[in-house]
Amino acid sequence: MGQRVQRLAAYAVILRGDRILLSRLAERVTKHELWTLPGGGVDHGEDPRAAVVREIYEETGLRAEVGETAHVFSLHLADTWRRGRRVDAHSVRLVYDGWVPADAPDPRVVEVDGSTADAAWQPIAAVLDGTLPTVALVGEALTVLHPERRQRIAAYAYVERDGALLLTRNSVLGPHPGVWTLPGGGIDHGESPPDTVLRELQEECGLDGKLGDLLTVDDHHFTGTAPSGRREDFHAIRIVYRASVADDTEPRVVEIDGTTDAVAWVPLAELEADAWQVSSLVRAAIAAARG
């Protein structure tokens, strides 16, 4: 039996749409193409969460965040080779849920002469069907790590004027970039829904509004990318109020680097003809207003 060697390492599963961020092992580690999760050994005295953030940067050039908890994977190889010698190896791997900003640049290897030769967003389907050669840990981690579950209560304004509806467009930081929706957003702790609507009208449209009656309450369940870049299993509860704004004012985006990048009055006739890409909330609100 070879010398006993035990190693503690930390990794992260980082997803974006239907892709996963992976690192390709260098030729000095394996002569064959083989991809793994970004991460690596935990230094003596180093916090595992700090270790995986450090390793992600060294291997991909991306600034990442990771969750508070990890899944633990254990691999015991009683007779294997490490650095040219025969060893009895035991690897303990901590795998965290991780994320990078939605507008992060393409990954690139930063470390020099390390164990990583390349970094890329790879199709999850290619991992699961074996088309992409990966270490077993990648598939095992995808099986047990699921998107963070989050429930959010938000309030919105239904503002109709001269046959047009006031809409805002999701930026690249939003859950559905390029999709138009009603002005509104998350209710802050201790904030009333009506106050939320008036605040969001000002932040997203630069308009002072006057609130009317409750129009509808709608909910939507989906998996998507949060503004932080984290992949979430998201349940949205959406409260919609009728509202009005002064006739002599025009909308403009006020918030900077937020989830809204455009605002416009959109003719209802065009929305009914599906000429605009809009959220399910817009359709539900129009139906309630017409009901």
Q: Are strands 19-25 and 35-36 parallel, antiparallel or unpaired?
A: antiparallel
- How far, in Å, CA of 25 to CA of 119, rounded? 9
> Mean pLDDT for each 10-residue chunk of the chain (291 residues)?
88 94 94 96 97 98 96 92 84 97 93 94 96 97 91 97 96 86 96 97 96 96 86 94 93 89 96 93 96 83
Q: Whole-prediction pTM value? A: 0.74
Examine the domain organization and report whether 95 and 208 are in the same domain: no
Residue 1: predicted pLDDT? 58
Contact 158, 182 (CB under 8 A): yes
- CATH assignment at residue 117: 3.90.79.10
Same domain, yes or no, for 10 and 124?
Answer: yes
| Residue-level pLDDT at 27 | 92
- What is the domain extent for residue 169? 148-290
pLDDT of residue 85: 82
**pLDDT value of position 80:** 85
- Strands (DSSP E) contained in the chain are 3-16, 19-25, 35-36, 39-41, 65-82, 85-99, 116-123, 148-161, 164-170, 180-181, 184-186, 209-225, 231-245, 260-267
Same domain, residue pair 138 and 169: no
Same domain assignment for residues 184 and 263: yes
Q: DSSP 3-state assignment of 243?
A: strand
**Among candidate residues 81, 114, 143, the one where a domain is terminated:** 143
Q: Which of 91, 108, 143 is the C-terminal boundary of a domain?
A: 143
- On whether both 113 and 166 belong to a single domain, the answer is no
Q: Look at residue 256 in the predicted model and tell me its pLDDT.
A: 86
If asked whether residues 96 and 213 sit together in one domain, one would say no
Number of domains in the chain: 2
